[in-house]
């Protein structure tokens, strides 16, 4: 599904330049640069613990970077907390989903951005009907609007997390293994959703371990190993084996050709 119509002569929608983050002695992210253009899906690949989630969490404001710069539409921005990221229309589906188990789907979807009545009280009915609208597109079989999400299946919970990220007009979307818990049908709907978001000009960072799916959904792929960037490739120009080689052995097929 790689898309040749993406114009990479414009400024990237979002660029993370020379990002660094260490935890104690562990260099989780070590001078990594990635970017995404409007309407593009960039896969972030790598083995477990390669640093993919940490890299993306610096963009979503969950972690503060040790070094590096973040640009949105060519302008450098400071993202120090999740609110800053939301203000730049950066939305995230976290690997851990980040749902409050004791709250229902609507309360989770609107958490931190509740709809209120004119008097400033929570407008739960409006939030629920909005939730019903978006969920009917993502997971039409979903019915459990009035139970805490703790009682939902893994896939249902994931649908709620996806709904939350796409409801608020994201310009930049971070999806950290969004289909890990989804069934065949639901995964297909997420793939469709990604296509639709691309057409709207949204830039997507997609963390995914399924190489086949990466080939289908992504335009480019940035591969990480032990916190460092192995390289960024056009997905159309490499084979699945090339990608696996980058992930496992850390060898860049372009470098070989050169």
Partner 1 sequence: MTEATTSHDPSEPARNKRTLFQNLEIDTRLLGMIGAFLLIAIVFNIMTEGRFLTPRNVFNLTIQTVSVAIMATGMVFVIVTRHIDLSVGALLATVSATMAVTQTDLLPTMLGLELGSPLIAPITILFGAIVGTIIGAFHGYLIGYLAIPAFIVTLGGLFVWRNVAWHITSGQTVGPLDPQFVSLGGIDGTLGETGSWVFGALAALFTLYLLFGARRRKVSHGFPVKPIWAEILIAGVALAAILGFVWILNSYDIPDRRLERMFAARGEVMPEGYTAGYGVPLSVLLLIIVAAAMMVVAQRTRLGRYIFAAGGNPEAAALSGINTRLLTVKVFAIVGFLCALSAVVASARLNFHSNDVGTLDELRVIAAAVIGGTALSGGIGTIYGAILGALIMQSLQSGMAMVGVEAPYQNIVVGIVLVLAVFIDIVYRKRTGV
The rounded distance, in Å, linking the Cα atoms of 215 and 68 is 29
- Taking CB under 6 A as the criterion, which residues in 3-32 touch ligand ATP? 23, 26, 28
214 binds ligand ATP (CB under 6 A): no
CB of 23 vs Mg ion, minimal distance in Å: 14
Nearer to partner 1 by C-beta: 102 or 239? 102
Helices (H), 41-183: 52-60, 82-87, 105-109, 124-138, 154-167
What does the binding site for partner 1 look like in residue numbers (CB under 8 A)?
A: 60, 62, 81-83, 86, 92, 94, 96-103, 107-108, 111-114, 116, 120-122, 125-126, 128-129, 143-144, 146-148, 150-151
Residue 14 near residue 85 (C-beta atoms within 8 A): no
Largest CA distance in the chain: 66
Token pair, residue 141, equals 């079989």
Element (H, E) at 64: none
Residue choice 13, 16, 40, 53 for contact with Mg ion (CB under 5 A):
53
Rg (CA), the chain: 18
- Taking CB under 6 A as the criterion, which residues in 143-182 touch ligand ATP? none
The rounded distance, in Å, linking the Cα atoms of 28 and 34 is 15
Give all strands of the β-sheet with 75-77 in edge-to-edge order.
Answer: 26-36, 14-23, 67-72, 75-77
Angle between the N-to-C axes of helices 124-138 and 184-199, in degrees from 0 to 180, rounded to the nearest 10: 100
121 contacts: CB under 8 Å, gap ≥ 6 = none
Size of site (CB under 5 A) for Mg ion: 2
- Taking CB under 6 A as the criterion, which residues in 56-95 touch ligand ATP? 95
Question: Which of partner 1, ligand ATP, Mg ion, none does residue 48 bind (CB under 5 to 8 Å by kind)?
Answer: ligand ATP
The rounded distance, in Å, linking the Cα atoms of 26 and 183 is 35
CA atoms within 13 A on the CB side of 102: 0
54 binds ligand ATP (CB under 6 A): yes
CB of 93 vs partner 1, minimal distance in Å: 11
CB of 243 vs partner 1, minimal distance in Å: 30
* Sole window of 46-54, 58-66, 109-117, 211-219 interacting with Mg ion (rule: CB under 5 A): 46-54
CB of 114 vs ligand ATP, minimal distance in Å: 28
98 binds ligand ATP (CB under 6 A): no
CB of 94 vs ligand ATP, minimal distance in Å: 11
CB of 26 vs ligand ATP, minimal distance in Å: 5
The rounded distance, in Å, linking the Cα atoms of 245 and 253 is 8
92 binds Mg ion (CB under 5 A): no
CA atoms within 13 A on the CB side of 60: 21
Nearer to partner 1 by C-beta: 45 or 175? 175
Q: What are the residues binding Mg ion (CB under 5 A)?
A: 53, 95
Q: What are the residues binding ligand ATP (CB under 6 A)?
A: 23, 26, 28, 46, 48-54, 95
């Amino acid at each position: 599904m790689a898309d040749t119509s993406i114009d990479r002569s414009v400024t990237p929608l979002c660029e993370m330049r020379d990002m660094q983050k260490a935890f104690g002695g562990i260099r989780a992210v070590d001078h990594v640069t990635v970017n995404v253009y409007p309407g593009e899906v960039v896969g972030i690949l790598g083995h477990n613990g390669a640093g993919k989630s940490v890299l993306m969490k610096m963009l979503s404001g969950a972690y503060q970077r040790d070094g590096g710069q973040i640009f949105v539409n060519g302008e450098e921005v400071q993202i120090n907390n999740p609110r800053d990221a939301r203000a730049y229309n950066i939305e995230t589906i976290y690997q851990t989903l980040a749902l409050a188990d004791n709250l229902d789907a609507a309360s989770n979807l609107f958490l931190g951005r509740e709809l209120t009545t004119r008097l400033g009280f929570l407008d739960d009915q409006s939030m629920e009907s909005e939730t019903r609208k978006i969920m009917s597109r993502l997971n039409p079989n979903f019915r459990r609007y009035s139970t805490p999400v703790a009682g939902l299946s893994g896939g249902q919970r994931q649908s709620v997390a996806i709904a939350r990220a796409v409801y608020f007009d994201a310009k930049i979307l971070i999806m950290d293994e969004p289909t890990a818990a989804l069934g065949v049908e639901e995964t297909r709907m997420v793939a469709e959703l990604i296509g639709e978001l691309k057409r709207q000009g949204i830039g997507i960072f997609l963390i995914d371990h399924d190489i086949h799916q990466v080939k289908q959904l992504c335009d480019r792929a940035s591969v990480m190993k032990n916190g460092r960037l192995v390289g960024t490739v056009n997905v159309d120009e490499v084979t699945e084996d090339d990608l696996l080689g980058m992930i496992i052995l850390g060898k860049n097929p372009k470098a070989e050709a050169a």
